[in-house]
Structure formats: C-alpha cells, structure tokens
Amino acid sequence: MSVGQTINPASIIGKSVRIGHLEVAQFDFPNEMTWDEAQKACTALGKGWRLPTRDELKTVYQNRKKIGDFSNYIYWSIAEDDDTAWSYDFSRERETSFYKDEEYVVRAVRSF
C-alpha cells in the first residue's frame, strides 16, 4: 500500500470467516507492504482489525482452504523483534522472520 492510497474496508474484509474466537478477513490487501505499513493498513479497516499473532497466523494457514483466496507466499504477523518481525511462509509451511522494511502479503484478523 503506497502512501496516500486508500482501501475500501469492505473490499478486504469481504465475507469474513470465523475460526474459534478469530475473525479472518476474506481477502489479502492488494499490494505487498512493509511491516509498519501492514500494521497501519489493518488498523485502518476499523474496530479491532490487526495483524495476526504468530499462533493465529499458523491457525490461518491450517485453515487456509476453509478461508480461501490465499497466495502461496509470505504473510506478516504482529510479532516483532528489534528490526525484524515474524511471518509465515505459506509455500514452505514454516515460520521465519524478516526485516520490517521488506514487503510481504497481509491478511487482517480480529478477535471476538
């Protein structure tokens, strides 16, 4: 998401899917983004939307067929270290961390 770009929340949230106490947006954001951009974009969706935790992201991966519309790429989580943040690589089925200024895919979630 580039600076000044606005996203219609309905185009991301769509028909969200509930898994336990987690609500998952139906769609990814249209563009890959840095970790900081991802945090802001999720928050901009409205009340409670955010990046998933590491465990939530694993749950999303395990339920990807039920949720649908995933790319076979790397998704950001909210978990961070100093200059890096944790992510989940959907193509390799593994967790890893990357520098926050790299751009990856984003799927928003919220708890209920």
* pLDDT band with cut points at 50, 70 and 90 for residue 16: very high
Q: Is 33 exposed, middle or buried (0-12, 13-18, 19+ CB in 10 A)?
A: buried
- Please state the pTM of the whole predicted model: 0.90
- Chain centre distance of CA 53: 9
In angstroms, the CA 43 to CA 47 distance is 8
Residue 2, pLDDT > 60, answer no
Q: What is residue 112's predicted lDDT score, i.e. its pLDDT?
A: 87
Tens digits of residue pLDDT in 60-108:
999 999 998 898 899 999 999 999 999 999 999 999 999 999 999 999 9
